[in-house]
Amino acid sequence: MAAINRDDVAHLARLAHIEMSPDELDRMAGELAVIVDAVKSVSEAAGDDVPATSHPIPLTNIFREDVVGHTFTAEEALSGAPDAHENRFKVPAILDED
């Protein structure tokens, strides 16, 4: 039994701001179910004594000293912006958030 269904995919698509057609939802639900099952079999192989891994190399405490480095000029920062005004990025007003 797949751990992910069509409604889950529709929900994720909405969260990820991806527009998907009904056909695409059907197809992705099937493809993602295969991936989720594959991941599940990995989970089964790893026992309780194996901690979750967030990084493939066992490093810790990679720090940077608190020393100021390089910055962009406002012009450089905005060079790839679709729109700008008074040295700031100009974006559409987004109403459903605060």
Partner 1 sequence: MSDAILTFDEAMEKYDPVLGFEVHVELNTKTKMFSSAPNVFGDEPNTNVNEVDLGMPGVLPVLNKTAVESSIKIGLALNCKIAENCRFARKNYFYPDTPKNFQTSQYDEPIAYDGYLDIELSDGTVFRVEIERAHMEEDAGKLTHMGGSAGRIQGADYSLVDYNRAGVPLVEIVTKPIQGAGSRAPELAKAYVAAVREIVKNLGVSDARMERGNVRCDANVSLRPHGRERFGIRSETKNVNSLRAVEHAVRYEIQRHAAVLDSGEPVVQETRHWHEDTRTTTSGRAKSDADDYRYFPEPDLVPVVASREWVEELRATLPEPPAERRKRLQSDWGYSDLEFRDVVNAGVMDEIEETIAAGATASVARKWWMGEIVGRAKNADVDPGQLGVAPATIVELNKMVEDGKINNKMATEVLDGVLAGEGTPAEIVEKRGLAVVSDDGPLLEAIDAALAAQPDVANKIRGGKVQAIGAIVGGVMKATRGQADAGRVRELILEKLGVEG
Binding site for partner 1 (CB under 8 A): 11, 15, 17, 52, 54-55, 57, 59-74, 77-78, 85-98
Nearer of residues 44 and 72 to partner 1, judged by Cβ: 72
Distance of alpha carbon 11 from the chain centroid: 14
CB 76 to partner 1: min, Å: 9
Kindly tell me which of 42 and 93 has the beta carbon lying closer to partner 1: 93
Residue (24 or 89) nearer to partner 1, CB: 89
- The distance of closest approach from Cβ of residue 81 to partner 1 in the complex, given in angstroms and rounded to an integer, is 9
Rounded CA-CA distance 96/98 in Å is: 7
Interatomic CA distance for residues 31 and 12, integer angstroms: 14
Cα–Cα distance, 20 to 28 (Å, whole number): 10
Q: How far apart are alpha carbons 35 and 89 in whole angstroms?
A: 38
At its nearest, how many Å lie between partner 1 and the CB of residue 65? 6
